[in-house]
Structure 1
Amino acid sequence: MGNGLARAATDVLNPFTLFTALYAAAALSLSGLPGGLLYIAAELLAASAVAGCVLLLRRRGLAGDFWLSGRAERPLPAAFLMGAFAALLGALAALDAPEELFLLTLSMGLASAAVALLTLRWKASAHCAVAGHAATAGLLVFGPWGLPFAALLPAVLWARLALGAHTPAQALAGTAVGAASALLLLA
């Protein structure tokens, strides 16, 4: 039962979902409906491209699961992810997006890059990095209204540890990288 719940939490509270939810909330609150929907469409396109890359790797037998549990599976998708973040940042700049949305996206991109580099030598949790970023950025961008993002962090930490996907040190390192990148650019 606990393993099934942990798997469900990992699948639902995944990096794509958490960042997209945070990004969408920021886009809509900063830009209103028409502009926010445009920015959300750009983010969904970037996220879909990354998901497509991972699915292609799985189809070709180069990745064991969608969450790239093996450290050796991560470099190519991480490079693709960095390209997607760069493209999204370029689109936000071209669309004259609000500065706070641009910085939110940049801070998540920097956290992703840091975790990808760290994972070349030692496996850090990307799930926890995004959850740590969402918790911190949610509070910085929305104040008390960001508490739902902070409330998800313990569930992500528990799920990654319960599944044995990460050690406590790997989960906390990912969380710290995500939180620090949000603090660096949004505080």
Structure 2
Amino acid sequence: MTASPARSASLPDLPRRTARAVTEAFAPSVLLILVLLAVGWQATPDRGRGHGLGWAALTAFLCSVLPYAFVHWGVRNERWADRHIPRRDQRLIPFLFAMACVVTAIALLSSSPGAPRDLLALATAMVVGLSMTLLITLSWKISVHTAVASGVTAVLLVTYGPVLLWFVPVPVLTAWSRVTLKDHTPVQTVAGAVVGATVATAVYRFVR
């Protein structure tokens, strides 16, 4: 049986549509909220889950929601191409804004006696990771998507152990989506994954 002309014409677009869906589903802003809530869930068992989740929600607002809102504002005002900021020369200001938001979260978490230590460790890992990717971005287009995906995976494994090994394919799928969409080369995605996983594991473990 042969495929209909309409179906045959749409087949070449399927990988690209799938890659776009993966990029959106595993966007840095989404994954950061996920990992913050996951860490907050287990961070304060003695005080109840609600205490940790409350701090996680506040940290997520500062570290993910505000930076995403700033990028969205910039896109609407045509300051950068789209919310994934594909152009390397447009990344400096969003990066600096995100770093300022994370530093604010670190200051709040470190100065509040009841704040979960694990969230402070995660926010610290974020700002170190942002700093490293920013330095690399000044001269080379490293993949932020895979850096965040790998960093989030590393933190989840450190926090919950082998029970979350099923999350490991997420950085792989993210890298595939970025290459398929031609936003990054394979080397750029691998570099992002290495930086993200290494920084997240080392800093999160040390501060925690």
TM-score strictly above 0.5:
yes
1:58 and 1:11 map into 2 onto residues whose CA distance is: 16
2:88 partner amino acid? R
Match of 1:66 in 2: 83
2:52 partner amino acid? G
- Matches for 1:22-37 after TM superposition, within 5 Å: 22-31=35-44, 32-37=48-53
Deviation at 1:36, TM superposition (A): 1.9
1:90 and 1:147 map into 2 onto residues whose CA distance is: 32
Native 8 Å contact 1:7 1:159 kept in 2: yes
2:104 partner amino acid? A
Match of residue 135, structure 1, among 139, 150, 153: 153
1:41 partner amino acid? A
Deviations 1:124-175 (A, max 9, x none): 0000000110121111111113324323111111111111111111101111
Q: Does 1:181 align with 2:181?
A: no
Match of residue 185, structure 2, among 167, 184, 187: 167
Taking structure 1 as reference, are residues 94 and 43 closer, same or farther at Cα in structure 2, changes over 3 Å only?
same
State the aligned residue count. 187
1:186 partner amino acid? Y
Deviation at 1:72, TM superposition (A): 0.9
2:76 partner amino acid? R
Deviation at 1:176, TM superposition (A): 0.9
Once the two structures are overlaid, the 10-residue window that deviates more, 87-96 or 127-136, is 87-96
Q: What value does the CA root-mean-square deviation take over the aligned residues?
A: 1.4
Native 8 Å contact 2:19 2:181 kept in 1: yes
Structure 1 unaligned spans of 5+ = none
Native 8 Å contact 1:112 1:129 kept in 2: no
Once the two structures are overlaid, the 10-residue window that deviates more, 122-131 or 33-42, is 33-42
Q: Does 1:57 align with 2:70?
A: no
How many percent identity over aligned positions? 28
Match of 1:38 in 2: 54
1:109 and 1:140 map into 2 onto residues whose CA distance is: 18
**TM-score, with structure 1 as normaliser:** 0.94
Match of 1:153 in 2: 171
Q: Does 1:2 align with 2:19?
A: no
2:106 and 2:152 map into 1 onto residues whose CA distance is: 18
Match of 1:110 in 2: 128
Structure 2 unaligned spans of 5+ = 1-13
Once the two structures are overlaid, the 10-residue window that deviates more, 27-36 or 161-170, is 27-36
Native 8 Å contact 1:135 1:151 kept in 2: no
Deviations 1:25-63 (A, max 9, x none): 110111232212321221232122111211121122111
**TM-score, with structure 2 as normaliser:** 0.85
